[in-house]
Amino acid sequence: MDLTYSAEDEAFRQEVRDFIEEAFTPDIRRECERSKNGYITKQGHETWQKRLYEKGWAAPNWPTEHGGAGFTPTQKFIYTQEMEAAGAPHTIAFGMTMVAPVIMKFGTEEQKAKYLPEKPNICPIFWPLMCGGVRAIQSRVQALTWRRYK
């Protein structure tokens, strides 16, 4: 088994490093370093996500048919490895990396149309699945719980 990276993979690694060098500015880097778990403010996340969006990497694990980066498995590994090594902020996990892939795989066409944005990069942090969708579910659960114990 040959585990060496191809020339294309190494070129991609350099592209990721160059992006990090440019986009992971000292202000965001300082914010990440101040917290042992890499917490940054909402504004910091918005800035970082906008930079990922501009590069086309706001949804690195999504296929291109859903507006994602369309990385190969090796590119996903390299991307994650380089972002971790740099200490860059993580993608907000709930909608982009947990819920959306489940809808992509198991959702009906109606659910995909309703909950998956045409391009995840348009508003990567606050798209409806993460905001309105979660609030609607939470409100419904609260209403049911209230009726149960009333």
In a domain, residue 40? The reply is yes
Q: What is the pLDDT of residue 42?
A: 82
Q: What is the mean pLDDT of residues 48-52?
A: 89
Domain range holding 73?
Answer: 7-149
pTM for the full model?
0.75
- CATH number of domain containing 52: 1.10.540.10
The answer to whether residue 135 scores a pLDDT higher than 70 is: no
Instruction: Indicate the helix (H) or strand (E) that contains 71.
Output: none
Q: What is the pLDDT of residues 88-133, one digit of tens each?
A: 988 776 777 788 888 889 999 998 888 777 666 544 444 444 444 4
In a domain, residue 90? The reply is yes
In a domain, residue 41? The reply is yes
Count of domains forming the chain: 1
For the chain, what percent of residues have pLDDT higher than 70?
A: 75
Round to whole Å and give the CA distance between 20 and 135. 33
Round to whole Å and give the CA distance between 4 and 148. 59
In a domain, residue 2? The reply is no
In a domain, residue 1? The reply is no
C-alpha distances (whole Å) from 108 to each of 35, 103, 114, 145, 150 are: 40, 8, 10, 28, 35
Q: What is the pLDDT of residues 62-96, one digit of tens each?
A: 888 888 889 999 999 999 999 999 999 887 767 77
Predicted confidence band of residue 34 (pLDDT cuts 50, 70, 90): confident
Q: What is the pLDDT of residue 35?
A: 79
Average model confidence (pLDDT) for the chain? 79
- Helices 42-55 and 7-23: angle between axes, nearest 10 degrees: 140
